[in-house]
Amino acid sequence: MRYLPLTDADRSSMLATIGVDSVDALFRDVPDHAKLPGKIAGLPDHMGELAVERHLSRLAAKNVTASTVPFFVGAGAYKHHVPASVDQILLRGEFLTSYTPYQPEVTQGTLQYLFEFQTQVALLTGMDVANASMYDGATGTAEAVLMAARVNKRNKVILSGGLHPHYREVVETTCGIMGMDIRAQAPDWKNAEDLAALLDAETSCVVVQTPSLFGHLRDFTALCDAAHAKGVMVIVVVTEVVSLGLLPSPGSMGADIVVCEGQSIGNGLNFGGPYVGLFATRDKFVRQMPGRLCGQTVDADGKRGFVLTLSTREQHIRREKATSNICTNSGLCALAFTIHLSLLGEQGLVGLARINHANAVTLADKLSGIKGVSVVNDGFFNEFTVKLPKKAAKIVSKLAAKDILAGVPVSRLYPDVEGLDDLLLIAATEINSVEDMDALVRGLEEVL
């Protein structure tokens, strides 16, 4: 980002233009408890450039990074190995652009990779058709809820207690403001909720997740049957897309819409974004699908070509007819996903998924041998929940001090819910070696 110097006169002019009398007035919507009063401790007002670089380097060196220590943090964002070849192909001038590809979007190269991306997503999810990517899994879930309401003209939404709470909050924010009746269930860490009993003639859709936030594997076939009998649509969310290399696809269970977070393939942790949302549905619902759809055709000479077949964005059709407010998408992230998955191939994805699961099983077995520690899951993919004899947040802090990033305390995701303090989410992927796992086990034994 460029440095843009400002004078007091510049600031006054801009504030006057937008109609506020101070910089503080710009941040009046930020709660007071989130604001840092006064100066930042240890950070002087003025310093030479070289001194600033050294100071910031020392501050940065205090961070414990995912790449330098044993790392078992998941909960919706997973650290996987991304081959160097992915980034090398992404750097090609045909792909890497600083601008949203509105104009390149009509070029054959862009349309072809979007077509291939859609094909990959449809095959992964077991659905008929996929769009050309969303921003991320959470916003894609909100779009799916809105789509379901367009299809069956109903207003009530049931959100599973196994759905990631950040996804729940995005749905509540996006769909709640549209007047939808959102019914979020309590955290389902025991995998015991009965969603079918909540469905009625007013329900538009039920949103579920597999593996759930707590790592439980779930078969939604019976739920889909019960929902369809009442005209309710089932939206299945997958936050760890590598799991689809081993687990039955949501399409095979009868899902109406499938939303995934695609970060795990081709994309790094990226400090929480940008990510890439995968979105797939049935043929009969395609005209209510948000975003855009690329198709293939032939030109006047019979040569294969690619075209933007369907786009429901307000840039392309009348605003009142638009079914999507997506202005652009995570195109480069989608391309990274496509490149990585192409390099893996079907067998490679299955192999990667097997390694993930095997590592998670090995780690769970090791942790179960620690006195007072128990794994709550009957089955899981690469992430599971453990019950600790002490508060998980304090344990995680103590392990971080030992350069081990042990996982995500459930209480961090549900700060207002009691009874979850001793639960810890732990993820293991192909990056975790036996030495990493042994370090976690030793560290946990020491701090308990």
Q: What integer pLDDT is reported at residue 156 of this predicted model? A: 97
**Please, which pLDDT band fits residue 52 given cuts at 50, 70 and 90?**
confident
In the listed set 341, 358, 385, which residue is the last one of a domain according to the structure? 341
> For position 428, what pLDDT does the model report?
97
Q: For residue 419, what pLDDT is reported?
A: 94
E-strand stretches of 300-447: 304-311, 374-375, 383-387, 408-409, 423-427
Is the pLDDT confidence value at 379 over 80? yes
Given 325, 341, 357, the domain boundary residue is: 341
The answer to whether 265 and 291 have CB atoms below 8 angstroms apart is no
Judge if 369 and 277 occupy the same domain: no
Task: Average the pLDDT over 10-23 and give the result.
Answer: 91
Pair 263, 129 in one domain: yes
172 shares its domain with 268: yes
CB 164 within 8 A of CB 209: yes
Residue 91 backbone class (left: φ over 0; alpha: ψ -120 to 50; beta: rest):
alpha
Tell me which residue range forms the domain holding 207: 84-341
Q: Based on the domain organization, do 263 and 384 belong to the same domain?
A: no
Per DSSP, the three-state class of 94 is coil
Lowest mean pLDDT among 39-43, 99-103, 158-162, 308-312: 99-103
> What average pLDDT does range 361-380 have in this prediction?
97
Q: Is the same domain home to 138 and 274? A: yes
**pLDDT averaged over every residue in the chain:** 92
Whether residue 319 is predicted with pLDDT greater than 80 in this model: the reply is no
CATH number for 171: 3.40.640.10
Q: What is the pLDDT of residue 105?
A: 54
**37 domain-assigned:** no
- How many domains does one find in the chain? 2
Q: Which pLDDT score, from 0 to 100, does residue 103 have? A: 56
Q: Which of 59-63, 99-103, 383-387 has the lowest mean pLDDT?
A: 99-103
CA-to-CA separations, 325 to 135, 266, 290, 322, in angstroms, rounded:
11, 26, 8, 8
Residue 212 within a domain? yes
Please tell me whether residues 320 and 436 are part of one structural domain: no
Within-domain flag for 118? yes
More confidently predicted of 313 and 32: 32
CB 423 within 8 A of CB 189: yes
Co-location of 183 and 169 in the same domain: yes
pTM for this structure?
A: 0.88
The CATH number assigned to the domain holding 353 equals 3.90.1150.10
Supply 126's token pair.
Answer: 């077991």
Verify that 151 and 207 share a domain, yes or no: yes
88-146 pLDDT, tens digit per residue, is 999 888 788 766 655 555 688 888 999 999 999 999 999 999 998 889 999 999 999 99
Shared-domain flag, residues 432 and 325: no
- Asked whether residue 204 falls in the same domain as residue 232, the answer is yes
Predicted local distance difference test score (pLDDT) of residue 273 = 83
Look at residue 384 in the predicted model and tell me its pLDDT: 98
